[in-house]
Amino acid sequence: MSDPDLERRKQELIREIHAAFDGVSREGGKSWVDSIAVDLYWTEDVKRESGLADTDTCWQDLIDDESWCDAFGTGGFAFLDAVGFRYYVAPAMIRDLRRGESESLHFALGCPPLHAKGRKSTLQKWSLLSDAQRLCIAAFVRFAIDRAFAKDEDYQLDDYEKAWDNYWKSVAEATPGSS
Place 2 in a pLDDT band, splitting at 50, 70 and 90: low
| Whether residue 72 has pLDDT greater than 70 | no
pLDDT given at position 58: 96
pLDDT given at position 13: 97
Which has the closest alpha carbon to 89: 36, 142, 32?
Answer: 32
End-to-end CA distance of the chain: 16
Contact predicate 78/87, CB 8 Å:
no
| Whether residue 178 has pLDDT greater than 70 | no
Model pLDDT for residues 99-157, shown as the tens digit of each residue? 876 778 999 999 999 888 989 999 999 999 999 999 999 999 999 999 988 887 787 88
| Whether residue 179 has pLDDT greater than 60 | no
Model pLDDT for residues 142-170, shown as the tens digit of each residue? 999 999 888 877 878 899 999 999 999 99
Computed over every residue of the chain, the mean pLDDT equals 91
Q: Identify the residue with better confidence: 92 or 71.
A: 92
Q: If you average pLDDT over residues 89-100, what whole number do you get? A: 93
User: Which residue ranges make up each domain of the chain?
Assistant: 3-173
Separation of alpha carbons 161 and 145, rounded Å: 7
Model pLDDT for residues 12-55, shown as the tens digit of each residue? 999 999 999 999 999 999 999 999 999 999 988 888 888 888 88
Contact predicate 88/60, CB 8 Å:
no
| Whether residue 63 has pLDDT greater than 50 | yes
Separation of alpha carbons 13 and 19, rounded Å: 10
Which has the closest alpha carbon to 93: 137, 55, 32, 148?
Answer: 137
pLDDT given at position 44: 87
pLDDT given at position 154: 80
